[in-house]
Amino acid sequence: MDLAPNPTDFKKYICKCCCDTINEQDQFCQHCGFPLQETDELQQRFINNRGYNKEQLKKLESKIEYAAIIFYILAGLLFLAGLLIFFFNTQNNLGVIFLVTNGILAILFFCLGAMSDKYPLASIICGLTLYLISIVTGLSSGIIINLLVLVALTTALINAFKAQSIRKQHNL
C-alpha cells in the first residue's frame, strides 16, 4: 500500500544563504527565498543581493540609533534642569513640582531611548509626539534646538520605516 509522504520523512538540508533548514524537494528556501535549484551564478547573485540588503539595514539601524542618543540627552537635560530648579527654589513648592514633572519626563525619554533598539518605530513615534507636545505646551523652548531635534527624530522615523520595509521584504 502506498502511503502519502509524511513531511517529517523528507531529508533535511541547510540553506547555504541563511542556514535555515530546507527539505530535499524544495525549490526555494521558505525562510529567505534562496533559489535552491537554480544555476550557481543566479544563486551567487541572490546571496550578493541579500548581503547588500543586510548592509543597507545595518546603515539604517545605525542612523536610527541617533534617536536613542537624543532621547538619552533629553532625559539627562530634563533631570538636570529639574534638580537645579529644585535646589535654587527654596521659597515655595515650585521646585518640587519641577523636580517631579521633569523627573517623570526624564524617565519617559530614558525608557523610550532604551526600547528604541528593539522597538524603534514605537519608540520614535512616541518620543516625537511627546517632544511635539512639550513644544506646544511651552515646556521646551528655543526654536533652533527644537527644530534640530524634530528634524533628527523625523529622519530617524523615516529610516525606521525603511528598515522595517527591508526586514519585511527580505525576512532579515
DSSP 8-state symbol, 7: G
Distances (CA, A) of 53 to 32, 49, 68, 71: 12, 6, 23, 28
Nearer to other proteins among residue 144 and residue 168 (C-beta): 168
Binding track, positions 46-75, relative to other proteins; x by CB under 8 A: ------------------------------
Residue 43 or 63 having the CB closest to other proteins: 43
* Cβ 102 vs Cβ 84: under 8 Å: no
Q: Give Cβ neighbours of residue 156 (< 8 Å, ≥ 6 apart).
A: 63, 64, 66, 67, 70, 120, 124
Q: Please work out the total of residues on this chain that contact other proteins, with binding judged by CB under 8 A.
A: 38
Q: How far apart are the first and last CA of the chain?
A: 43
The strand pairing partners of 35, in sequence order, are: 28
The residue (of 130 and 144) whose beta carbon lies closer to other proteins is 130
Nearer to other proteins (CB atom), residue 121 or residue 152: 121
| Contacts to other proteins from residues 109-148, by CB under 8 A | 119, 121-122, 125-126, 129-130, 133, 136-137
Contact 43, 52 (CB under 8 A): no
Q: Which residues bind other proteins (CB under 8 A)?
A: 4-5, 7, 22-23, 26-33, 35, 93, 96-97, 100-101, 104-105, 108, 119, 121-122, 125-126, 129-130, 133, 136-137, 161, 164-165, 168-169, 171
